[in-house]
Structure 1
Amino acid sequence: MVFEVLTKKMDDKYSETIVLSYYEGFTEADISVPVKEAADMIKHLLNEEEFSGKYNEIQSFKLTRKDNPKKVILLGLGKKEEVDIEKVRRIFAKGIKEAINLKTKAVDVYPINTTSELSLSQVTRAMTEGLILGSYKFDKYIKDKKENPVKSICVVGANPDEIVDIDKGVVEGNILSKATILARDMVNEPANVLTPAKLAAIAEKTGKESGFEVEILKEDKIQELEMEAFMAVGRASENRPRLIVMRYFGDKKNKKEIIGLVGKGLTYDSGGLCIKSKDGMVNMKSDMGGAASVIGAMEAIARKKLKVNVIAVVAACENLISGYSYRTGDIIGSMAGKTIFIGSTDAEGRLTLADAIHYIIEKENATKILDIATLTGGAIVTLGSTATVVVSNDDEFYKALESASRITGEKIWRMPIFDEYKELLKSKVADLTNSAGNPQAITAALFVGEFVQDKPWIHMDIAGTAFTSKSSEYIAEGGTGVGVRTIYEMVKEISK
């Protein structure tokens, strides 16, 4: 269930549970709760030092009254000068978890007192994201599942001007949360369900519902385009490849500027003839995390009607084993005309990205390129699961992504692109090798960079951040949906 956060007026009827938040060091004078029983209890907890507003502090209690509200949840925001959007997002995710534990059906959330650094719309957007994403779980295939008792959440506004700002943040937060959940759901689907054709169908459905055009190219068209690198990876599987093209034109007067998004779409990666270990394969359904990110981002961009032109491309396929498999030692072509020596069949994602990027430049006229992919184990070695590896050839473009990541809380870190690393891509028998060695995350990115034709380019390696085995405040075990909100935010910034 994906519920929607709504906005309500202060004088509307109370819901069953109210959520209040306080900065560290708050006093009795800061307690302005119209429900006397609730105000008295908060004062008691404050005086008994059982709740002081420290960050991540959470306290709940029930009221002995017949009318709503019957339950109160208190959230600690920490020191006022240290609060930021990510802290707001995290603490309200904890708040919704507490509401679920209390088995409450309806929740009223009161917005925090804003600071000079944070507007009311920014705060309510972060609150909304925390509330929705914090309640997410993937239980589609569990028969005896525990249903989320929370059916409605409202953010309360005191006056018309405040409600306008709150509603602005709530609307954007709803859009981004649902787009992120779309990406999470795709990543969490098993590979026997989410085939290349199914991924294409989800993109088509999302486009129809959100307002962007989708074109699906099947194998005959892919071959006509001479996408040899893409076809080499996908040719062993009975689930045939699909090239998914998504187009959104929000600024039709300016067709000269088109942002191109390319997502890696390996719906399953066995490693091919360079087969992975059993443990290495078990979660390879997640190797289409980049594709999920760009589909989710396109949904958010279109629903928010950003004034910008964006085209996204996914080369969707499976990397499996059969008599048709491509082999180590093979030399294959590419849509760009460059030949590639295959040093590893498990370095397949960069091959599909190479053809997808050439396509989006040559056929769709993209002027800036961002690719996002679960590309290398080297990214996990480099930054673990905390941050996404980024490589870029353009400082201004990268700064837009960096600024976006600060707003969304999705950490990134830029890697160097020294000429010495580029030398490692050369092959003695072909133009390039697909297995250039260490530093793996950088050489893999630079292989992809060989196909961007000097366009401003960003590469995001989400191998460590797209899937997690450990839950946190608003990230559940499994697919994280990383990249959806950051790409949206970056595109939004560029559109201004």
Structure 2
Amino acid sequence: MARFPLPAVPSPLLDVEVADVPRRGVPRAVLVPVREEGGDEPELVEGVRPPAKAGDVRSVPDAGTAPRWLVGVGTGAPEHYRGAGAALIRAANDYVAAEAEAGARPSKVVQIELGEQVRGEDVAELALGLLLGGYRYRVSADAAKPAVRTVRLCTPFERAVPAYEQAVARVRELAAASTLARDLANAPSNIKDPAWLADTAERLADGVSGLKVTVRDERWLTEQGFGGVIAVGGGSASPPRLIELSYRPRVASKHLLLVGKGITFDTGGLSIKPADGMHLMRTDMAGGGAVIAAMRAIAALRLGVRVTALVPAAENHVSGSSYRPGDVVRHYGGKTTEVGNTDAEGRMVLADALAYGIRRFDPDAVVDVATLTGATKVALGLRTGGLYASDDELAHRVVAAGERTGEAWWRMPLLDAHVDAIRGELADVKQAPSGPGGVTAALFLREFTAGLPWAHLDIAGPARSEKNYAEVVPGGTGFAARTLIELAASYS
């Protein structure tokens, strides 16, 4: 297969600095909170009315000594600062690109006046929006458009600089994880086969202290009885892989197992998908990408928890060697599955990885992440992940981790009334029974968790976006990576 260069993985991040002294001659932005009810009308700035809502950016033409941008931060909620940072960096990038196209030499540094009302947690959210809001992924022969390289956050409090720098440094790791997960999801599938994903994971671990990557090939998978992975990957000329990532700090009282779906392209197999939208299936490994990215950050942050991660990677293609509806597949550990729909391939590979990870590593808790069901996407839309959990404490930890990092989760029911639906006639379990699709998929996966505290994160909706909102841009969103990092931190 012919190969050609892709953009750097991971994509470079913006530099975010903290200072107490503004630089002369550098374009600046001012943060504008919402006007209190009954308060005075805000003064115009060079004829421009300040924004009235969060994420609204007003440009000041011929700013002179006035700020170049007025940025609405609403009531100062975390999502407001995050959205403001994202909106500002997009506006600033557009300004730099337009100025350069006009023949000018615009500054690629922007500074933001924080104001006395801005707190440390606000700085963190603002920085997260800045770091992620200007993300771009494009495979092109053309040079990338000029863009802002550095943003300086200028506080009036000199004593606050060290604390703000520490907050920005931690947020940078979270943003780097989301960016990497986006890169992996966006990479085109004529390059991103299971071997590429595995090789990339190995390369990304180089230089990250404490992070180890082991790659298992199709021969090992066959010998060990990974029947689900072998069945799903059997229709492709690109053989499957199991990517194993391990982080073992010297002192850790808890051990967390993460499992991410790594389907690098999904045609649906013999139960083929409609042509419309199939091109988006390069992002069907977004769960695996989030897991790989989270592991890199967990090790970089030196969290005090042991974490093992597994990403079963395969392509679900159509050929004479594809698995079929009606097949019976034997998973790692011996449990058998009756195949009903070859497009329900994610749960087939996750079942193997869950069974193997639990038996091999004996973790305290298990979390799997996958773009698994259209049913959960229909139920929750495109901005909220579905959470199915067998353990209340683990479910609470996931939701709280998401709240701290700006990723929304909604706990869905694991209805025992539908357990009988997954019982097989030819095999132990049915892969695609009738009933509520998100619930039955989760119940199927629960069969392979050996009764351990377990959470299933269905990100079929929020893993991909078609438009800008807050810090999200079109394409892979990196959703779940930040939640997994914060979840691991909660066990430290």
Corresponding residue for 2:95?
A: 102
Rate the CA distance shift 1:474–1:451 in 2: closer, same or farther, 3 A.
same
Quick check: 1:372 aligned with 2:369?
yes
- Maintained 8 Å contact 2:46/2:66: no
- Maintained 8 Å contact 1:123/1:169: no
Identity of aligned residues (%): 33
Corresponding residue for 2:16?
A: 6
Corresponding residue for 1:59?
A: 58
Corresponding residue for 2:198?
A: 200
Corresponding residue for 1:36?
A: none
- Maintained 8 Å contact 1:5/1:155: no
Deviation for aligned residue 1:48? 7.1
Distance 1:197 1:52 in 2: 49
Deviation for aligned residue 1:114? 4.7
Letter in 1 for 2:77: D
Letter in 1 for 2:269: G
Corresponding residue for 2:233?
A: 234
Helix, strand or coil for the counterpart of 1:283?
helix
Distance 1:179 1:340 in 2: 34
Helix, strand or coil for the counterpart of 2:73?
strand
- Maintained 8 Å contact 2:30/2:67: no
Rate the CA distance shift 1:113–1:71 in 2: closer, same or farther, 3 A.
closer
1:159-308 matches, within 5 Å, as: 159-211=157-209, 212-250=211-249, 252-254=250-252, 257-308=254-305
Q: Deviations over 1:74-128 (max 9, x none)?
A: 112223xxx321111001111111211221511112335457xxx50x2222111
- Maintained 8 Å contact 2:227/2:331: yes
Structure 1's unaligned 5+ residue stretches are 31-41
Rate the CA distance shift 1:382–1:70 in 2: closer, same or farther, 3 A.
same
Deviation for aligned residue 1:343? 0.8
1:30-179 matches, within 5 Å, as: 44-45=43-44, 50-51=49-50, 53-62=52-61, 71-79=67-75, 83-103=76-96, 104-111=107-114, 113-114=116-117, 119-120=119-120, 122-139=121-138, 141-144=139-142, 146-179=144-177
- Maintained 8 Å contact 2:57/2:72: yes
Helix, strand or coil for the counterpart of 1:327?
coil
Deviation for aligned residue 1:400? 0.8
Deviates more, 1:419-428 or 1:7-16: 7-16
Distance 2:274 2:42 in 1: 58
Deviation for aligned residue 1:405? 1.4
With normalisation by structure 2, the TM-score equals 0.90
Distance 2:51 2:232 in 1: 57
- Maintained 8 Å contact 2:55/2:470: no
Quick check: 1:362 aligned with 2:359?
yes
Distance 2:395 2:25 in 1: 44
Rate the CA distance shift 1:322–1:55 in 2: closer, same or farther, 3 A.
closer
Helix, strand or coil for the counterpart of 1:389?
strand
Distance 2:29 2:46 in 1: 20
- Maintained 8 Å contact 1:16/1:71: no
Distance 2:195 2:53 in 1: 49
Deviation for aligned residue 1:43? 7.5
Letter in 1 for 2:321: Y
Helix, strand or coil for the counterpart of 1:7?
strand
Helix, strand or coil for the counterpart of 1:78?
coil
Corresponding residue for 1:37?
A: none
Helix, strand or coil for the counterpart of 1:107?
strand
Letter in 2 for 1:397: L
Rate the CA distance shift 1:46–1:11 in 2: closer, same or farther, 3 A.
closer
Distance 1:243 1:114 in 2: 49
Distance 2:381 2:482 in 1: 20
- Maintained 8 Å contact 1:90/1:130: yes
Helix, strand or coil for the counterpart of 2:298?
helix
Residue 457 (structure 1) aligned to one of 448, 454, 457: 454
Distance 1:370 1:15 in 2: 50
Rate the CA distance shift 1:148–1:327 in 2: closer, same or farther, 3 A.
same
Letter in 2 for 1:72: R
Letter in 2 for 1:448: L
Deviation for aligned residue 1:6? 3.1
Helix, strand or coil for the counterpart of 1:447?
helix
Letter in 2 for 1:210: V
- Maintained 8 Å contact 2:228/2:331: yes
Corresponding residue for 2:31?
A: 21
Letter in 2 for 1:239: S
Q: Deviations over 1:15-50 (max 9, x none)?
A: 6211221222389x99xxxxxxxxxxx984169781
With normalisation by structure 1, the TM-score equals 0.89
Helix, strand or coil for the counterpart of 1:305?
coil
Distance 1:43 1:321 in 2: 62
